[in-house]
Amino acid sequence: MELIVNPSRSEWDSLCERNIPDDKDIERAVEDIISTVRERGDAALLEYARKFDNFKGESLSVTDDEISQRIGMVKEDVAEAIRKAAENITAFHKAQFPAPVECETMPGVTCMQRAVPIRRVGLYIPGGRAPLFSTVLMLALPARIAGCNEIVLCTPENGEHGISPEILFAAYLCGVDKIFRVGGAQAIAAMAFGTESIPKVDKIFGPGNRFVTKAKQMVSRFTAIDMPAGPSEVMVLADDTASPTYVAADMLSQAEHGPDSQAIAVCSSESIAESVRAEVERLASRLPRRDSIEGSLSHSRIITFADRESMIDFANTYASEHLIISMRDPWNVAERITAAGSVFIGNYSPESAGDYASGTNHTLPTSGWARSFSGVNIDSFMHKITYQELKREGLDGLADVITTMARAEGLDAHALAVEVRVGNWELKNEN
C-alpha cells in the first residue's frame, strides 16, 4: 500500500477518490436487462436465472417446503449466532421507533406528525461466494418492526447448491413474506416494475455488485431506493494508543469484500504507519480471497498527519462508510465527526461487530454519501405524514396572514379558500 506523509490540503480531494470506474458497458448491459424484464416479465427472469445462476427449475418462487427443508441444513452454532444477532438488532431498532409529534402552534391551530410504514418493501440479498445472510437481518428486522405489510426478498441461486440455507433461515426468522430465486440487475428490475410472480414494491433495499448498484440508480426514477451505494470502505484513525495488528485486521476485513473495496489508515506518525503496513502484509498472507484483498489494497492507502486536527478534518472530508477511532480520548474525536456512516469507538470495537451483531445496521452510505445520507434505520422503512386541524378560532387568527401572503404571491384562489370560511369574501368581492 502507498504511504503518504502529511499531504497538503490541495491533495485531499485526490486522496479521497474511490475506485469506481465509469463503465459504459455495464450501463448498457443493465439498461438492456431492465427493459427486457419490464417487457417480458417472468420469462426474462427465468432465462437470466438459467444463464447466470445455473438454475434448472421452472418456478422463481421459493416454497414453504423448500424453506423448511433447507433451514434444517444450518449448523446449530450458526443458527444460534443468527438468533443472538437478531436479538441485538431488534433491540436497537425498536429503540429508534419515532414518537408522534403534536404541537399547538397558536390557539385553535394544532399540527401533528406521525410515521407510517411503507406498504411493500423489496430486499436484495447477494448470493455468490459470500451469501450475505447477515444483510437479511439488517433489512428484514427493521422492516418488520416498522410494520411494513409485505416484505419481498430476492436472492440468486448459488450454482448447483441452491439458495444459501443461512439466507433462508434468517428470512424465516425475520418473517419475510415472499422469497424469489432471482439475482443481479434483473432482480432489481423485477421489484421495481413487477412481473407475473414478483410484486412491484414501493422501496428497494440491499447491496450488490456494480450491475445491481447501477440498476438501483436507474430504477430510482420509478421506485424509491435505500441510498446511493458503492464498494465497501473503512477508515481507521490511529495514534500511539492503537494496536497496529488491530488496525491491519480492520483494513483487511473490508479488503476481502472485493477488489473495488477501499481501506484507509490515517496515522499520527510514520512509525505507526509503517507498523500498520507491515501488519497488513503479514496478516494478508494468511487469508483466503487473495484476489479480492490484493485488488483492494492496490488502491488503499496509509496517510500520516502531524496533528490530531488534520486527522479529524481529513476523516470528515473522506466521509467513510465505516470509521474506526483508535485514538486517545476517542469519544472526544467522535463528537467532532460530521460525516460517517457508522463510527466504532476504541480498540475493542472492530468494524465486523457492526457488520454482524452489535445491533447497529450495516447497510450504510459509501462513496462520500455519508456527508448527506444516513445508514438504514427504522425511519428508512417508514414515511411521515403531517396533519393540521384548525378550529374557527385558529382560522380567524391566521386569516390575515394567509390571505396577505397568498395575494403577494398572486394566488387569489388560496386567499379565497380562507375568506369564504371566515365570511370576508362576499364583502371584499362587493367592494
Enumerate the active-site residues: 321-322
Contact at 8 Å (CB) between 371 and 319? yes
- Residue whose entry in the numeric block shows the C-alpha cell 385553535: 108
Contact at 8 Å (CB) between 351 and 234? yes
Burial pattern 371-406, b for ≥16 Cβ within 10 A else e, equals eebebbbbebbbeeeeeeebeeebebebbeebbeeb
Sign of CA dihedral 14, 18, 23, 28: negative
93: left (phi over 0), alpha (psi -120 to 50) or beta: alpha
* Spatial CB neighbours of 382, under 8 Å, sequence gap ≥ 6: 98, 115, 116, 117, 118, 146
SS3 percent helix, strand, coil of the chain, rounded to 5, is 50, 15, 35
CB-based contacts of 417-421 (< 8 A; 24+ apart in sequence) = 421/395
Q: How do beta strands 342-345 and 322-326 pair?
A: parallel
In eight-state DSSP terms, residue 310 is H
3-state secondary structure of 248: helix
CA angle 40-154-118, nearest 5°?
100
8 residue type, one letter = S
Cα–Cα distance for residue pair 68/74, rounded to 1 Å? 11
